[in-house]
């Protein structure tokens, strides 16, 4: 008996990642009554990148999978670094990726009053105190990981004095840096984060949401867990570097007496030939190494979007790379595989010649124009067909012709035949060169009228098939050819004295003018994010840039096609 696989069953038996295992165990044992509620908590101090996409897909994916909810919460506790520009871009990017926080948009700054009251609770329990030491003194007395710290002499202040001082901090009586509120935990703890961490600092800074209402701001550690708790988050998922913060996270929840979310840490995403540090990405933008956050070479979501990536391809990428606790570096070629896979099925084909050389078909009637029919997408019949004009003079790629070709060269060469896709088989008869430079100016060919594509006698086999564009009808377009931003696999892995900027790829952007078949002007009104996305046959996937106008077309190369000929050439 043959068993037919049940797709439902298959879905259920798919192996779980360690976070899903924890969640399912919690559901099984009735923790939170089986409720699942996650959150994505970015600080609005930069643009989101592909690493955030992993976190977004994880958090929203879990919410969806377990019929729970996912909040979007801005972790906006440091006004000097944050801006509404970033808030807006983050919301746009999350939406574009296909996720919906519905009515659950929150800000840590919404909880400032509540957090203040939590701090007062700790003071009253003698678990927090106002410390007058300078930042330097605090740092010096914190000790080192191997040596215990020293207790602050302000540690023994009375509850009343602490309450008074803390309220005056809030009232703006003290200058920045003069005092902080600290937790009273253990200056000898092996965990540095438990050595009387700072809870509040004085910052006379304008906040993008609360304005000048506050001049004291909670630290991350004092805001994050409590915000999770207020929002009844069940599983607070973050990256590995917060692992050592978890005891503190739990300490605040316990001491204040709040609902306790469970913090789970996973390994952040790294991708070869790029960087993820917000600070460094900001540097590249500020110092003009790239043209803005959405430069198509950037690993930012808006950069990938402008490059031509689809949300589907990024979601698929995030789902496929998996989630675990060990450090990982994903090969950028896997990201490229994900977008090729998507665009292969969904993007219409077009012929475009990026490095044109003229081919003149001597035995073709001078003024004749034929309409050649060709399919828009061989992977999807429903995409229909289009017409390409064919005439006596056409362009082919300069790389598709060699005067003295090696054995495995299946393209045009003197005396050899090739198929012009969707048109005729031609034979190269002669070449015309510039006498001064030796550069080939024209390739003269003859065509075989019996081999017209689709005709009964057109089935003759030749080694190669070339793409082409008719000279007269060709449409010019600016093509931006993008390559990896860095020449080094891991630009963060540096020798003494080096900078990641030393490894910027000088060839990461090349601009050429291409000749494209006239169908490129036909608006491709399509759904599914495929507008302006094409496969230029035999070359790669291209996406119309926002700079493009009907008079001045601009395309970005998303990714080249796999090229096994390039490999053959290399070996040689």
Partner RNA sequence: UGACCCAUGGUGUAAAGGUAGCACGAGUGAUUUUGGUUCACUCGGUCUAGGUUCGAAUCCUGGUGGGUCAACCA
Answer for the pair 308, 556: CB distance below 8 angstroms, yes or no.
yes
Please count the helices (runs of H) and the strands (runs of E) in the chain.
Answer: 14, 25
Which stretch of DSSP H or E encloses residue 59?
A: helix 50-65
Does 465 bind RNA (CB under 7 A)? Our answer is yes
Cα dihedral sign for 302, 303, 305, 309?
Answer: negative
Residues 391-450 touching RNA, rule: CB under 7 A, are: 408-411, 419, 421-423
Cα dihedral sign for 93, 96, 98, 102?
Answer: positive
Among 161, 250, 341, 442, binds RNA (CB under 7 A): 341
Residues 214-243 touching RNA, rule: CB under 7 A, are: 217, 219-221, 223-224, 240-243
Segment near RNA (CB under 7 A), from 64-72, 165-173, 184-192, 470-478? 184-192
Among 6, 213, 232, 320, binds RNA (CB under 7 A): 320
Residues 261-280 touching RNA, rule: CB under 7 A, are: 267
Residue 278 is among the residues annotated as catalytic for this protein: yes
Cα dihedral sign for 51, 56, 61, 66?
Answer: positive
Binding mask 369-388 for RNA (x = CB under 7 A): --------xxx---------
Does 172 bind RNA (CB under 7 A)? Our answer is no
Closest CA to 219 of 182, 253, 254: 182
DSSP per residue, 97-149: TT---TT-EEEGGGGHHHHHHHHHHHHHTT-EEEE---HHHHHHHT-BTTB--
Residues in a beta bridge with 343: none
Among 177, 449, 507, 528, binds RNA (CB under 7 A): 177
Residues 474-533 touching RNA, rule: CB under 7 A, are: none
Residue 408 is among the residues annotated as catalytic for this protein: no
**In terms of CB distance, is 11 or 326 closer to RNA?**
326
Residue 537 C-beta: closest distance to RNA, Å: 4
Which residue in 35, 170, 268, 421 is the catalytic one?
Answer: 268
Residues 99-158 touching RNA, rule: CB under 7 A, are: 133-135, 138-139, 142, 144-146
Answer for the pair 90, 74: CB distance below 8 angstroms, yes or no.
yes
Residues 10-49 touching RNA, rule: CB under 7 A, are: 15-18, 21, 24-25, 43
**In terms of CB distance, is 296 or 540 closer to RNA?**
540
**In terms of CB distance, is 221 or 295 closer to RNA?**
221
The set of residues, in sequence order, having a beta carbon less than 8 Å from that of 50 and lying 6+ positions away, is: 269, 271, 276, 299, 300, 301, 304, 314, 317, 335
Residues 52-91 touching RNA, rule: CB under 7 A, are: 75, 77-78, 81
Give me 70's structure tokens.
């996912």
Among 57, 183, 202, 357, binds RNA (CB under 7 A): 202
d(CA 537, CA 535): 6
Residue with tokens 């300490």: 251
Answer for the pair 202, 216: CB distance below 8 angstroms, yes or no.
yes
Which residue in 43, 283, 341, 489 is the catalytic one?
Answer: 43
Residue 85 C-beta: closest distance to RNA, Å: 17
Residue 136 is among the residues annotated as catalytic for this protein: no
Give me 196's structure tokens.
């009387």
| Largest Cα span, the chain | 102
Which residue in 73, 184, 262, 278 is the catalytic one?
Answer: 278
Among 86, 538, 544, 545, binds RNA (CB under 7 A): 538
d(CA 232, CA 87): 23
**In terms of CB distance, is 351 or 509 closer to RNA?**
351
Q: Tell me the number of residues near RNA by CB under 7 A.
A: 98
Does 160 bind RNA (CB under 7 A)? Our answer is no
Residues forming the active site = 43, 268, 278
């Amino acid at each position: 008996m043959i068993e037919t696989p049940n797709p439902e069953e298959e879905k259920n038996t798919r192996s779980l990642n360690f976070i899903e295992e924890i969640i399912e165990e919690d559901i099984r044992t009735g923790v939170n009554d089986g409720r699942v509620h996650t959150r994505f908590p970015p600080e609005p101090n930069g643009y989101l990148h592909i690493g955030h996409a992993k976190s977004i897909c994880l958090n929203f994916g879990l919410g969806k999978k377990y019929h729970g909810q996912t909040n979007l919460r801005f972790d906006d506790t440091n006004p000097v670094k944050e801006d509404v520009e970033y808030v807006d871009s983050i919301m746009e990017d999350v939406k574009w990726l296909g996720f919906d926080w519905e009515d659950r948009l929150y800000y840590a700054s919404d909880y400032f009053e509540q957090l203040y009251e939590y701090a007062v609770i700790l003071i009253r329990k003698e678990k927090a105190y106002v410390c007058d030491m300078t930042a330097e003194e605090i740092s010096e007395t914190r000790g080192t990981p191997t040596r215990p710290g020293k207790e602050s002499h302000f540690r023994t202040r009375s509850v009343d004095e602490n309450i008074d001082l803390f309220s005056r901090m809030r009232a703006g009586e003290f200058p920045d840096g003069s005092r902080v509120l600290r937790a009273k935990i253990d200056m000898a703890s092996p965990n540095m984060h438990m050595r009387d961490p700072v809870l509040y600092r004085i910052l006379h800074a304008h906040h993008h949401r609360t304005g000048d209402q506050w001049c004291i701001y909670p630290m991350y550690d004092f805001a994050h867990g409590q915000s999770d708790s207020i929002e009844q988050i069940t599983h607070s998922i973050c990256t590995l570097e917060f692992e050592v913060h978890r005891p503190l996270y739990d300490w605040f929840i316990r001491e204040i007496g709040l609902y306790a979310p469970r913090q789970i840490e996973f390994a952040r995403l790294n991708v070869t030939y790029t960087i993820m540090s917000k600070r460094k990405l900001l540097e590249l933008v500020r110092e003009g190494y790239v043209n803005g956050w959405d430069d198509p070479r950037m690993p930012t979501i808006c950069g990938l979007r402008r490059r031509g990536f689809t949300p589907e391809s990024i979601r698929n990428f995030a789902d496929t790379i998996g989630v675990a606790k060990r450090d990982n570096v994903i090969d950028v070629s896997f990201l490229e595989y994900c977008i090729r896979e998507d665009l292969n099925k969904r993007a219409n084909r077009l012929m475009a010649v990026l490095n044109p050389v003229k081919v003149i078909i001597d035995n073709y009637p001078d003024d004749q124009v034929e309409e050649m029919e060709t399919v828009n997408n061989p992977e999807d019949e429903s995409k229909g067909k289009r017409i390409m004009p064919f005439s006596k003079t056409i362009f082919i790629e300069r790389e598709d012709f060699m005067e003295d070709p090696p054995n495995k060269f299946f393209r045009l060469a003197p005396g050899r035949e090739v198929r012009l896709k969707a048109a005729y088989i031609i034979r190269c008869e002669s070449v015309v060169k510039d006498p001064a430079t030796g550069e080939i100016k024209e390739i003269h060919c003859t065509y075989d009228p019996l081999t017209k594509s689709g005709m009964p006698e057109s089935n003759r086999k030749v080694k190669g098939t070339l793409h082409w564009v008719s000279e007269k009808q060709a449409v010019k377009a600016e093509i931006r050819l993008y390559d990896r931003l860095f020449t080094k696999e891991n630009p963060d892995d540096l020798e003494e004295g080096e900078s990641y900027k030393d490894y910027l790829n000088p060839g990461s952007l090349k601009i050429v003018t291409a000749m494209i078949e006239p169908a490129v002007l036909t608006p491709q009104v399509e759904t599914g994010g495929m507008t302006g996305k094409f496969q230029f046959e035999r070359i790669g996937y291209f996406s119309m840039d926002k700079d493009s106008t009907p008079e001045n077309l601009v395309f970005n190369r998303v990714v080249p096609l796999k090229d096994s000929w390039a490999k053959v050439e290399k070996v040689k």
